[in-house]
Amino acid sequence: MSSTPRGERLNIAIIGKRNAGKSSLINALVGQDIAIVSAVPGTTTDPVDKRYELLPLGPVTFFDTAGVDDTGELGEKRIKATQKILYRADIAIFVSDGNAFNNAELKMIEKIREMELPMLIVFNKKDIIPVCQENIAFCQKYSLPYISVSSVTKEGIDECKEKLIQLSPKYLKENRIIAGDLVEPGNSVILVTPIDTSAPKGRLILPQVQTLRDLLDRNCLVTVVQETELKSALDKTKEPPSLVITDSQVIEMVANIVPEEIPLTTFSILFARYKGELDILLEGINRLKTLQNGDKILIAEACSHHIQKDDIGRVKIPNWMQKFSQKDLIFDVYAGYDFPDNLEEYTVCIHCGGCMITPMEMNRRIKECYRRGVPITNYGMTIAFLQGVLERTIKPLLNTKEKKE
Ligand SMILES: Nc1nc2c(ncn2[C@@H]2O[C@H](COP(=O)(O)OP(=O)(O)OP(=O)(O)O)[C@@H](O)[C@H]2O)c(=O)[nH]1
Ligand code: SF4
Ligand SMILES: [Mg+2]
């Protein structure tokens, strides 16, 4: 299973003080000696990733880290490296022995709570140290899930796995719907997918394919067209479609063609909701309403793709934003796996659609900005907002929400 694409794996960071048994816990969870264990505190220094199949969740990567109470200049560096791991983690396991939490532990627990990263507290060494009541009261006070285990006798290890599954992102555990709840079986839906020079050769991108499948599962009649054929598709259908879903790049044109009474949304918006990110990304959009001279905008791209003459991230979005805000803004483009170290200096991050990375990895990038306090939104929603059609394209989703309530 190690060949599963990295992004599809659940990232679990193992955090805790030196000698708490972090590496031992990984071995106990995996059932093999894959991490180095020793009685000498400070054995694990740089973060190490260990891959494993955690049923029924699927592949996970455990990140074994240095102790949070590591000291000196090197210790500080190691704690910074641990912090970096936390930004991208899906779950943190905080390993402690039964003794009362020390200051370094409390500080790190607080940090993880502030990041709103799902965390499981594991009191290890149950066989030799009973958990002190103070620690249990602490977990209860902050509603932190906890469990007591022994990595040596393996007591509590199965329950620990169960707890991890409960903490994993919802969309990994549940069969979530992309667009199927916006329509009824038998409804017709039009998907607008431009095939321009920036479209990947020979294929549709994953969100388009997934949406198509989702609508077929709902027994819908789906028509897929390029924007140039949209008018003709609308003219040819006897009844107006129940929904039109478009790529955001052509939203302005599509919004003009599709009559106001036909519900219209974008792949970007549907996927933001599907992955539970819609609220974070809408918050990011709000930040675009109050831009000031000199604000720094980060245009983040998940891969270094071929740059077009009229590039969406480098040319189009910056131009539209300057025009909309009437302010002098500073734009930086950053492409690749990481975010810049100075992420916190940016007023807002506008992220590409992430077609080359998995939904899981995209979700992590969004969460990282959120955890580092930088508002984030995506290209699609930014375009819809700047073209004045965000409200219209969000509306079909709000209707379902109201129906459900
Ligand atoms: N009795 C008992 N000993 C344990 C348990 N878990 C770990 N140990 C022992 O505690 C010591 C430290 O274990 P490690 O797994 O290396 O701890 P760590 O947190 O990874 O330590 P560093 O990498 O040095 O930060 C070793 O001697 C382990 O054998 C446990 O559940 N019970
Ligand atoms: S991952 Fe982002 S930058 Fe790369 S091709 Fe897809 S949308 Fe463009
Ligand atoms: Mg270790």
Residue 7: per-residue pLDDT: 37
For residues 353 and 270, the answer to whether their CB atoms sit within 8 Å is: no
Q: Is the CB of 43 under 6 A from ligand 1?
A: yes
Domain ranges, ordered by start, for the chain: 6-168, 175-405
Q: Which helix (H) or strand (E) holds 263?
A: none
- Name the token pair of 244: 């039109």
Mutate to test the pocket of ligand 1, among 17, 18, 19 (most ligand atoms within 8 A of CB): 19
For residues 208 and 193, the answer to whether their CB atoms sit within 8 Å is: yes
What does pLDDT average to in each consecutive run of 10 residues of the chain (405 residues)? 48 94 94 86 82 78 90 84 88 95 96 92 96 95 97 96 86 79 97 83 86 96 97 94 95 96 95 86 96 97 82 93 96 90 96 80 87 94 95 88 48
pTM for the full model?
Answer: 0.77
Q: Do 6-168 and 175-405 fold alike per CATH?
A: yes
Residue 6: per-residue pLDDT: 35
Q: Is the CB of 313 under 6 A from ligand 2?
A: no
Residue 174: per-residue pLDDT: 67
Residue 10: per-residue pLDDT: 86
Residue 97: per-residue pLDDT: 94
Q: Does domain 175-405 have CATH number 3.40.50.620?
A: no
What CATH fold (topology level) applies to the domain 6-168? Answer: Rossmann fold (3.40.50)
Residue 56: per-residue pLDDT: 64
Mutate to test the pocket of ligand 2, among 355, 360, 366 (most ligand atoms within 8 A of CB): 355
Give exposure, 223-255, as e/b (b: 16+ Cβ within 10 Å). Answer: bbbebeebeebbeeeeeebbbbbbbbbbbebbb
CA distance 213 to 335: 30
Q: Is the CB of 355 under 6 A from ligand 2?
A: yes
